Amino acid sequence: MWKNEESAQRQPLLGNEGEHGQKHEHDENFKGVKETGRKFNDIIFAFLFLIVVAAMIFVSVIGFSKGDPKRLIPSNEFVNKIENTSEYWFQDSVANLKRDWYIVASALVFSFILAIVWVQLMKWFTKVIIYMTLFLGIVAVIAIGFYFLSIGFQKHSSNLRILSYCLFGLGAILLVVVFFLRKKIALTAAMFTETCKGVNHNPGVIFVGILIFAIMAVFIAYWIAGFVYLYSIPASVTTKSVDPNLPPQFNTSLRNLMYFQVFAFFWVSAFLTAVFQVSVAGAIATWYFSRDVNGYGANTGSPVLKSLGRALTFHFGSLALGSLLLAIVQFLNFLLKLSKKTNQKNRLAVFIISCFQCCLGCVQRIIQFIDRFAYIYIAMHGDSFCGSAKNVFNLVSRNMFSAVVVDLLGEFVLFVGKLLGTAGSVALTVVTLQLTHRPLSPVTITVVAVGAYHIFSLFSQIVSVGVDTVMVCYLEDLERNKEGALYMDPELHRMLQDKASRNNGKSVNNTSK
């Protein structure tokens, strides 16, 4: 614990006491996480999750037993050329994905290696990497924009030109945002540095990250294979048996099972991410409340492995509930995208669908925000999902730090880093497709982009969840130890208090006006 007179005399900015739940009392035995007395919560959602996983495997088995991927041929390769190929757009996409699978796999492996290097550099050179990430992210976005623009003119593709203009606009927006937020980079760097101290004292975090990634990679590979086989199940009476020159026909009724597979994919992916978030939060919280002026002073074994074990046992149902909420919104957005694709000629329908997508995007961000802080509290105290979400936001509200939590530049820095890594993976895919004289399949590029972004998102959780965990621990630290020395680094404590003082002063002035 930091023995610092300034932090002891300086009164933490606590407010609204008693208005938002019961505040935490001082407890010398509290070490960041509740080690004993935890209960199994939200059990019904644990069973529901297992049922969905079992059903997903059963549907995949149907695809593996009846599907024939060799029959998936792009429409431009049909023996008899057809004029209108728009109705085959999704079938063409799946066929191209099957053909380009090794390119997709190579790009995702590249993303994985790049993400590991990025996180390691963030641990060692925190402030430098923050500035480099912002700079390289903007440069990469603009460079890729020029690349797509040149290809668009070469191939006379208006879609690629529009995409390049969007990338130019995004680069300009990022440049303006960085300029106006430059004064907040110091606080962000300090929070990242504090978080990286905890990560350095918990090397098992990287191991758990690789473990979760390996599980997710196996799951994605299995899911894609099952999806392709399911989509290639022939019709009961195939046109090939009538006329081999006609396009192959497939079982459209069984293809509808793909909607369930997509929902299951979203839920399982969100659940695995939740497990990783809880593991990281438990490790960082243990470190925060177990250190002294000399560093990490507690003999706690491996906090991240203990937290992982609790996530897969006591909190299995709570994580299933939190990930279910996110999966539902993602699945609805997926349905809207399909509907938008099939109604491209109806401008009114496209406009209405776009409005719904915008609303769903806002809801998704809110759910992700709630999930993250609820998972942190679950890792620390072991409450149910709903109870944890309520308690953690009561904690934030009592300490008047809402503006600080939301206003930190950290999420933006990590977003640019994820964007940079994703852009590099997509660029590698596009170059490879061109060098091998293959068409630029939108689905192949999209799968690489989504996969790379998820890989970088997974490993960025080490820092982002760590930063949020440090903030939650700091708020508990203020309540539990405000009469004495705090565990927080004194300089970072001063910076956070100054930031909160300015925000509080602004809110008071605005109210008086």
Residue 480, pLDDT score:
79
**DSSP state at residue 25:** P
- Tokens of residue 300, six digits: 């706690």
Tens of pLDDT, residues 395-411:
877 766 544 544 556 77
Three-state SS annotation for 49-113: HHHHHHHHHHHHHHHHHHCCHHHCCCHHHCCCCCCCCHHHHHHHHHHHHHHCHHHHHHHHHHHHH
Q: Are 307 and 283 in contact (CB under 8 A)?
A: yes
Radius of gyration of the chain (CA): 25
- Tokens of residue 249, six digits: 């026909």
Block mean pLDDT (10 aa), the chain, length 513: 44 50 62 81 94 94 84 60 57 72 82 83 77 78 83 77 84 80 74 84 86 88 86 65 60 82 93 94 89 56 88 94 95 88 80 88 90 93 92 79 54 78 83 78 78 82 87 85 72 74 51 40
> Hunting for tokens 């503006």 — which residue is that?
403
> Hunting for tokens 């990679």 — which residue is that?
217
Can you say whether residue 21 is alpha, beta or left, with left for phi > 0 and alpha for psi between -120 and 50 degrees?
Answer: left
Residue 266, pLDDT score:
94
Residue ranges of the domains in the chain?
51-70+92-127+182-239+265-504
Please state, in angstroms and rounded to a whole number, the distance separating the CA atoms of residues 276 and 270.
10
Amino acid identity at 188: T
Q: Taking Cα atoms as reference points, which of 358, 322, 323 lies closest to residue 337? A: 358
- Tokens of residue 352, six digits: 């209405």
SS3 at position 127: helix
Distances 434 to 337, 401, 439, 440 between C-alpha atoms, Å? 27, 50, 7, 8
SS3 at position 496: helix
Residue 148, pLDDT score:
80
Residue 27, pLDDT score:
61
Residue 202, pLDDT score:
84
Residue 19, pLDDT score:
58
